[in-house]
Amino acid sequence: MEKVKRVFFAVPPQVHLLDISGPIHAFYEAGMMEQGLETYFISTEGGETQQSSAGLALSGLVDFADFQLHSEDWVFIPGIDSELLLSRGFAQAAVPFLEWLKQQHDRNAKICSVCTGTLILALSGILEGKSCTTHWKYLKQFQKRFPNTNWLEDRLFVKDENIYSSAGVTSGIDLSLYVLEEMYGPILAMKVAKELVLYVRRSKEDPQLSVFLQFRNHLDTRIHEIQDFMAGNLDQDLSLERLGEQACMSPRSLSRNFKKTTGITLGEYRDKLRVEKAVKMLASGQKLEVISTSCGLKSSNQLRSLIRKFEGVLPHQLSQK
């Protein structure tokens, strides 16, 4: 039986609503699609209710001290009202939570911050010697305050071992999609993004998007359905005629609309899907014959030719297979 995945959302005083509600809703949608995902809302002060910076109260919270986490658990730390966050009193009052957070980090739980929530991570000491990002307005200030942390500019989010940080507000949703991709794979992350009617975005410095998430920056339902079908049926017939039947369109119309909507041809998209799946299977030690069949190719020689076509963007050890 698959282990339950737990995601904890910390609710500090004067929390920014979008910092926390965006990630919460992304995981809500994921929980509607996947079994075994549990979410918890923990108060950083131990009370059952917390006031947000916008004045809306959040209730039904549980005490953070009731939980000890492990390597399969995730914690999201949102940003809060800046006047409170930067006050000396906040850091003093937050000591019990900061100590708990460091303990969970040491237990290899995955810690994620949104916006100025990165400062809470820094106050706990877990960003010492790490790379991270935060809201652009506070970057210089935090750099001076914590010089032993590598604060990166112009990044939507940054991952350094088991610490994840995002730049602010809506980038917390981008980070949530990235986390969901790590937890469940790119197809589920893409489905959540689609459910949220969200353009999947990454900065050029971040790891490149999985092809399962690329070319989805559109709202054409029929093309999305064809992309879903291709991703889930790479071992099947993906000829233009078969895809046209699936889309209830003529092959010519589908070909034209797909290129207009995504910017690449159906054949190019199919090859990208195949090579990414092949690379992942190669990395896990699968045999070439098994990979070829799973990718809808007729032979290992055809697989080698496909990989050579993309060898300029593949890890060296995989392009030599």
Q: What is the pLDDT of residues 214-264, one digit of tens each?
A: 787 676 889 989 998 998 899 999 999 999 999 999 999 999 999 998 889
Q: Provide the domain count of the chain.
A: 2
Question: Do 42 and 182 have their domain in common?
Answer: yes
Asked, for residue 80, whether it belongs to a domain, the answer is: yes
Residues 72 and 180 in one domain: yes
Task: Identify the domain containing residue 270 by its residue range.
Answer: 221-319
Let me know whether 112 and 231 are in one domain.
no
In a domain, 238, yes or no: yes
166 and 294 co-located in one domain? no
The answer to whether residue 76 is domain-embedded is yes
* Contact of 179 with 127, CB cutoff 8 Å: no
Contact 279, 211 (CB under 8 A): no
150 within a domain of the structure (yes/no): yes
Residue 55 confidence (pLDDT): 94
User: Do 14 and 124 belong to one domain?
Assistant: yes
What CA–CA distances, in Å, run from 18 to 6, 83, 123, 140, 164? Answer: 21, 18, 22, 23, 18
Asked if 230 and 130 sit in the same domain, the reply is no
Q: Is residue 202 part of a domain?
A: no
My answer on whether 188 and 59 are in the same domain is yes
Which CATH number covers residue 261?
1.10.10.60
pLDDT in tens, the chain (321 residues): 567 899 999 999 999 999 999 999 999 999 999 989 999 999 999 889 999 999 999 999 999 999 999 999 999 999 999 999 999 899 999 999 999 999 999 999 999 999 999 999 999 999 999 999 999 899 999 999 999 999 988 778 889 999 999 987 788 998 999 899 889 887 888 889 888 877 555 443 444 456 666 787 676 889 989 998 998 899 999 999 999 999 999 999 999 999 998 889 999 999 999 988 888 788 778 888 999 999 999 898 888 888 888 765 444 434 444
Q: What is the CATH number of the domain that holds 173?
A: 3.40.50.880
- 10 - beta bridge partners? 42
> Exposed, middle or buried, 135 (CB in 10 Å: 0-12/13-18/19+)?
buried
